[in-house]
Amino acid sequence: MATLSRQVFNTLKKVGVRNFSVSSKNCEASSYLPLTHLSEDETAMQETVSRLAKEQIAPHVRDMEKEKKFKDVVVKLCFDNGLMGIQTPSEYNGSECNFLTAMLIVEELAKVDASVAAFVDIHNTLVNSVLLRYGTKEQKEKYLPRLATDMVGSFALSEPSSGTDAFALKTTAKKVGDDIVLNGSKMWISNSDLSGVFLIMANSDPSKADKSIPTLFSIQIGQGYRRQYGEMVDVEPLPRNFATT
């Protein structure tokens, strides 16, 4: 009988390992199924997404690659089939699936088109999950229902001079009265051409340089945000743009 730490046990539970028995003094796994053994719900979702990808998304892939642009019908298919709120709780209109199911969904989409898989993965893991973990109650109520049903989101970290180094950000966040003023530029922002809301990483205390912990802000289109377009080597037709605030 293997004895697991509480942290390991909780991690395994989150990703889908099942059939644990836990003692009161420590965490013991008497028997459990490997991640390769899927539950009925996980298998059903995997098969459903596989059919969706092959029958309804695949016919559009060649045209999207030629046009270097996502088709609205593909975006709508992802929303209508619950793929844009995979782990989002049902109270926010999400599918409320586990992390293993999210991986299975992305895997099935990737078998047909890598850009659609990345589109869904980024929206779920870098936008929904971040809001679920760090968002305020008001932010969750405002954004999560729409992110699960009709609005694409983007995570804006990368910058021209620092890439994805979160501790070298030049974008600043300054409190002015009751407002927060964001000032800076972002690049290579996945899904940005389709997004209605952006999670922007900014430095709220530039005086501390690389010791300052970046702060996350949500901003909707029309709130002083401007897109700029440029040629990029990428997983076509995944939309990525320059952005300034």
Domain positions in the chain are: 1-37, 40-145, 153-244
CATH class of this structure's domain 40-145: mainly alpha
**For position 213, what pLDDT does the model report?**
56
Q: What is the 3 state secondary structure string of 50-115?
A: HHHHHHHHHHHHHHHHHHCCCCHHHHHHHHHCCCCCCCCCHHHCCCCCCHHHHHHHHHHHHCCCHH
Stated pTM of the model: 0.75
Between vectors from CA 31 to CA 25 and to CA 33, what angle results, nearest 5°? 130
pLDDT digits (tens, 9 = 90+) for 10-35: 554 554 444 444 443 443 443 455 66
SS3 at position 175: strand
* 219: confidence class by pLDDT, cuts 50, 70, 90: low
d(CA 10, CA 181): 39
In CATH, which of 2.40.50.140, 2.40.110.10, 3.40.50.720, 2.60.40.10 is domain 153-244?
Answer: 2.40.110.10
Instruction: Express as a percent the part of the chain with pLDDT over 90.
Output: 42
